[in-house]
Amino acid sequence: MGFEYIKALHIIFVVTWFAGLFYIVRLFIYQTEAMERPEQERAILKPQLDLMASRLWYIITWPSAILTLIFGTWVLSYRVGYLEMGFMHAKLAFVLLLYGYHFGCHKLFKELQAGRTRWSSTQLRIWNEASTLLLFAIVFLIVLKNLLSMVWGLLGLIGLGITLMIAIRIYKKYRNKNS
Indicate the annotated binding residues for heme. 10, 91
Euclidean distance between CA atoms 97 and 103, whole angstroms: 10
Contact status, residue 78 vs residue 85, Cβ threshold 8 Å: no
The residue length of the chain stands at 179
Q: Which positions make up the binding site?
A: 10, 91
Contact status, residue 129 vs residue 29, Cβ threshold 8 Å: no
Task: For residue 76, give every residue at least 6 positions away whose Cβ sits within 8 Å of its Cβ, in sequence order, or none.
Answer: 82, 83
Four-residue CA torsion sign, 88, 90, 93, 94: negative
